Amino acid sequence: MIQLYIPLNFLGVIYREIKQSLADMERLFGLLEQHREVADAPDAQPLATQGARVEFAHVEFSYDPKRQILFDVDFTIPAGTTTAVVGHSGSGKSTLSRLLFRFYDVQAGAIRIDGQDLRHVSQESLRHAIGIVPQDTVLFNDTIEYNIAYGRPGAGHDEVVAAARAASIHDFIESLPDGYATMVGERGLKLSGGEKQRVAIARTLLKNPAILIFDEATSALDSKSEQAIQAQLKEIARQRTTLVIAHRLSTIADAGQILVLDHGRIVERGTHAALIAADGLYRQMWDRQQARQDEALASPETIEQ
């Protein structure tokens, strides 16, 4: 029996390895696919940032010519300030961040950083200037140290630890039997949503970009993690030009500017107080979320948690 078990078990391991490698390759090809959409102009210059003012000027965009996604999107994020985008699912919020990262080019209008059209700067310099804290961070099947250092290849151990401390994940890492050498990802330790976001924050701190895109997770973390992450983000957003793709309005109430997208158009803009007073779509979304929160608080299961 044992004689049969060992080879079968071995085959199982090989099968899992192959499956994982295929998953990694799929991810890699997915990324390459996205990069193929645009190419550097022959005379592309490195992006030179001075505070990083971001400007979307009358942007029109469609992934597919038959279906336009953004219509005359026009806004500016002054250097070093935070702008949040809200809107129903599918309204085009994440598309804005993909365009700022230049995964695609706009069909009309322009996107500029400190006056430089994204189509005229090298993609390498653009991607160097922008840090993304995504909804769902991809972890590589490697150590947690590697996963943080990925923010700035070549970063030393002390720098990784400093970033992990600033992202409040150092103590958690130290508590693991293998510390920073712990394997994570699909083949290693599975991290919770909040832990993964902290790894992404540590990566971004190491990268130290002029522009930050924060794509808020759709599924809420528990409120303690949520508050801690919000506090850290506020810290890293200070002095950086920040675009927040928001799903929970409570997290962006103090953003310098809030844009409300509806079917690819900016239908309202202003501060939280101004938008509440305007009594339009934002006010409706806010009232609905508050009502849902009150319901959740009133439900016994939530109180027990």
Closer CB to ligand ATP, 90 or 156, in the complex? 90
Between CA 254 and CA 79 the distance in angstroms is 17
Task: Name the DSSP letter for residue 67.
Answer: B
- CB of 294 vs ligand ATP, minimal distance in Å: 23
Closer CB to ligand ATP, 167 or 245, in the complex? 245
Closer CB to ligand ATP, 69 or 163, in the complex? 69
Place of tokens 């929970």: 248
Closer CB to ligand ATP, 15 or 63, in the complex? 63
- CB of 82 vs ligand ATP, minimal distance in Å: 18
- CB of 121 vs ligand ATP, minimal distance in Å: 23
| Orientation angle between helical segments 193-207 and 223-237, nearest 10 degrees | 10
Cβ neighbors of 118 (< 8 A, separation 6 or more) are: 100, 102, 105, 110, 111, 112, 126
Closer CB to ligand ATP, 85 or 169, in the complex? 85
Written as six digits, the tokens of 2 are 């044992």
- CB of 303 vs ligand ATP, minimal distance in Å: 29
Residues engaged in binding ligand ATP (CB under 6 A): 63-64, 69, 87, 89-95
Using CB atoms within 10 A of its CB, is residue 111 exposed (0-12), middle (13-18) or buried (19+)? buried
- CB of 76 vs ligand ATP, minimal distance in Å: 20
